[in-house]
Amino acid sequence: MHQFDLEGKGIKLIQQENLLAVFSDNPLKVVGSAFHNGGGIRETHVILNIEVPHGYGDIKLHLDPEALIVDSARKLNIKGDFVAMVTAACVEKFAMASKHQASIGVSVIATAADDEGHTCDHAESAGEEINAKVVENGTINIIVLIDGNPTDASLVSSMVTATEAKTAAMLQLDIRSVYSGEAATGTITDAIVCAKTGVGEKILFGGPASKLGQLVGFCTRQAVKAAIMKGRECSPIRSLTERLRAKHLSVEKLAQELSQIKSLGTKDELTQKLSDMIACKPLYASIILAASKLDEDVENGLIPPQLGDIDDLSKRFAERVSGCKTETQDFDEEELAQVDLPPFLKYALLDLIRSADL
């Protein structure tokens, strides 16, 4: 068992086996989306984040989640009401951030990575179409503890601020939706509990610009970012190949599209050529990364009109950064039209491949 002190008198965090538990000598007022006793605003002395054991099974969990929750709570001899979240993440890999300013203290505890290093396996971009089947891992769970006395409205507002901060952490790490490749805003199974001690003067505001909101936002962003980085798949130093794949632009897909132009080579040849280019030519890899980011602006309608025609602009961009001018008449027009790639990436790759062949 491992024990950690949190902001607030008589409050501690315990990690034991598959449990991450916040215990408070005095009742905490909580709001959140926890599965067990998570609806509405209530009081509790205990908040749990429960890791689903290996082999428990997604179907078994969904048929009777209360069985796992109750059995897990017994390990710490928890009696009475408690609030509980469930996760497939490894609770030993939790991350925590705390900060105190004037009379307000905030601690945030987050889990994201499982014991095999998987994180954000079901990352999504809210508002997109999602077709999810079995969900085994990828959840981001957050516990926000406020040593202070926000009003109920301010407590809810703090939970919203924490959710925004979680998204900001994911954007910083360039986490992508597994369903579309767009920038992710969360995962499909995230849960959050926001709790207060009720100590001190009333706090009316919990938004991002308020004193409380800034503490909550800072701690949440730090904790979520650290929790995600404990998984190897979302490391900020992951390869360009992995980052392109997360955008649904795998090397194999790029090669498949470029192979529509017969003179460039077969899919297998182009896959090898692109892999070598990305692995061995840092400048070329940087150009590919920059082109893919520009294409996101194209997709989102963010290229300023004064920059002119996007197709022409993307060709001139490719020519300038690659140092090799590839005229479109060098290729069969019908074949070129079959290359289904966004414009900046399309022409950058054409010029880079031509440059590499010189």
**Dist CA 163 CA 85 (whole Å):** 16
Q: Are 193 and 32 in contact (CB under 8 A)?
A: yes
25-52 pLDDT, tens digit per residue, is: 999 999 999 988 888 899 999 999 999 8
Contacts of residue 244, Cβ cutoff 8 Å, sequence gap at least 6: 250, 251, 254, 288, 292
Closest CA to 78 of 87, 69, 86: 69
Q: Write down all domains in the chain, each with its CATH number in brackets.
A: 2-234 (3.60.70), 240-357 (no CATH)
85-140 pLDDT, tens digit per residue, is: 998 889 999 999 999 999 999 999 999 987 676 788 888 999 998 887 655 567 89
Residue 153 gets which letter from DSSP? H
185-226 pLDDT, tens digit per residue, is: 999 989 999 999 999 999 999 999 999 999 999 999 999 999
Reported confidence tier of residue 231, pLDDT bands at 50, 70, 90: confident
Closest CA to 118 of 203, 231, 223, 3: 231
